[in-house]
Amino acid sequence: MPEKKIGFFAKYLTLWVAICIGLGVAIGVAFPPIPAFLGKLEYANVSLPVAVLIWLMIFPMMLKVDFKSIANAGKRPKGLVVTLIVNWLIKPFSMYLIARFFIKVVFKTIIPDILATDYIAGAVLLGAAPCTAMVFVWSYLSDGDPGYTVVQVALNDLIILLAFAPIVALLLGVNDVQVPMDTLFMSVVLFVVIPLTAGFITRNLLIKSHGTDWFERVFCRKFDGITEAGLLLTLVIIFSFQGETIIANPVAIILIAIPLIIQTYLIFFLGFGWSRLWKVPYQIAAPSGLIGASNFFELAVAVAISLFGLSSGATLATVVGVLVEVPVMLSLVRIARSMKDRFPQQEMAPAGE
């Protein structure tokens, strides 16, 4: 598959992101019935309108998945090791330390102690939940290996079942932390099983009928711009959902966002930098760094609501995580692409690293 070029949306990315954020907030404030209606279209804490957009963003990447590359992922374990160690042995604990330092120390005179504790709890919930869905988008935009990314996501989903609740309980000192299985199951089905199956069937049928060259150079090109357009529409919807919250809590949102953003960049450079030192091919190194930086915010928000309540500071903190996710991750995609030439490149059919 030829390398994907930076298109019209990506060329003026900062401008489009700013416009879509402003548009989303304006819709949420001026036309609240619109986000109120869209907000009702959810199942298991997963927004169905956002899910449709994510599915459209993911599908072009799934067309590139060769199931042989999935089977061979175990022969290239370095990317998986980086993902697992950064996501589960570093990220939750660094999130706790960074959030606590800023919220309890730096912003001590601004944030009341009770709210500070809640904000830290929300940050920890984000840090203990590595991304399931959007990482496919970040991998696609950064020219990552699609098959390897599928394996990384699937492995994280399995570990969430075992590690999420104990880590949250340890860091927050709370009991009875439950993983919302309906949210996890719904996310895996919507963002992994369905698009992967659709991509597999489409890929195989079209290659058999038209050949590989036509499939890659003609059919796949029809989806150019779909992922970027879907991202911008996702921004509009997400910020419309939280438009009134943003207007009502601007200072709190800015203060919460600071440690979250610092944590995101830290985790990305840990994973991405370690991969470079370990001579991991770029196509694996990029998603290895991005998957840890991104968060499974549907899970974090659902647990925050169940543990602390809908109007709690913890829930607000997880919502801030949703708000900063796309703009910050898009900046990391650009950073990854700018450093591509500093990494070894993956061959078409590698036997190992």
Tens digits of residue pLDDT in 202-249: 999 999 999 989 998 899 888 877 887 888 898 899 999 989 889 988
Both tokens of 118, joined, read: 């809640």
In a domain, 16, yes or no: no
In a domain, 20, yes or no: no
In a domain, 9, yes or no: no
Of 26-35, 68-77, 183-192, 293-302, which gets the smallest average pLDDT? 68-77
The Cα 309–Cα 39 span in angstroms is 18
The Cα 271–Cα 131 span in angstroms is 14
- Per-residue pLDDT averaged across 94-123, rounded? 94
Q: Longest Cα pair distance anywhere in the chain, in angstroms?
A: 67
- Per-residue pLDDT averaged across 147-155, rounded? 89
In a domain, 79, yes or no: yes
In a domain, 190, yes or no: yes
The domain total for the chain is 1
Give tens-digit pLDDT for 258-273.
999 999 999 999 999 9
The confidence score (pLDDT) of residue 261 equals: 97
In a domain, 352, yes or no: no
The confidence score (pLDDT) of residue 352 equals: 40
Q: Give the type of residue at 325.
A: E
The Cα 332–Cα 287 span in angstroms is 11
The Cα 144–Cα 305 span in angstroms is 34
The Cα 309–Cα 229 span in angstroms is 34
Partner residues linked to 130 by β-bridges: 295
In a domain, 250, yes or no: yes
Partner residues linked to 47 by β-bridges: 42
Model confidence at 313: pLDDT above 50: yes
Range of the domain at 316: 25-342
The confidence score (pLDDT) of residue 139 equals: 92
User: 343 or 132: whose pLDDT is higher?
Assistant: 343
State the CATH number of the domain containing residue 232.
Answer: 1.20.1530.20
The Cα 205–Cα 219 span in angstroms is 12
The confidence score (pLDDT) of residue 311 equals: 81
Both tokens of 351, joined, read: 């036997």
Model confidence at 6: pLDDT above 80: no
Both tokens of 278, joined, read: 């370990």
3 state SS for 145-207? CHHHHHHHHHHHHHHHHHHHHHHHHHHHCCCCCCCCHHHHHHHHHHHHHHHHHHHHHHHHHHH
> Which of the four pLDDT bands, split at 50, 70 and 90, describes residue 350?
very low
Percentage of the chain lying above the pLDDT 70 cut: 93
Is residue 303 within 8 A of residue 121, CB to CB? The reply is: no
Both tokens of 77, joined, read: 């374990």
The Cα 203–Cα 149 span in angstroms is 18
In the predicted model, what is the mean pLDDT of the chain? 88
pTM for this model (two decimals): 0.86
Model confidence at 21: pLDDT above 50: yes
> Which of the four pLDDT bands, split at 50, 70 and 90, describes residue 7?
low
The confidence score (pLDDT) of residue 19 equals: 93
Task: Report the SS3 class of residue 130.
Answer: strand
- Per-residue pLDDT averaged across 15-43, rounded? 91
- Location of structure tokens 């690293």: 353
User: 349 or 168: whose pLDDT is higher?
Assistant: 168
The confidence score (pLDDT) of residue 8 equals: 58
The confidence score (pLDDT) of residue 175 equals: 64
Model confidence at 348: pLDDT above 60: no
The confidence score (pLDDT) of residue 222 equals: 87
In a domain, 349, yes or no: no
Is residue 329 within 8 A of residue 135, CB to CB? The reply is: no
Of 3-17, 45-59, 147-161, 234-248, which gets the smallest average pLDDT? 3-17
Partner residues linked to 46 by β-bridges: 43
C-alpha to C-alpha distances, 158 to 18, 26, 277, 299, 325, nearest whole angstrom: 36, 39, 28, 14, 23
Model confidence at 353: pLDDT above 70: no
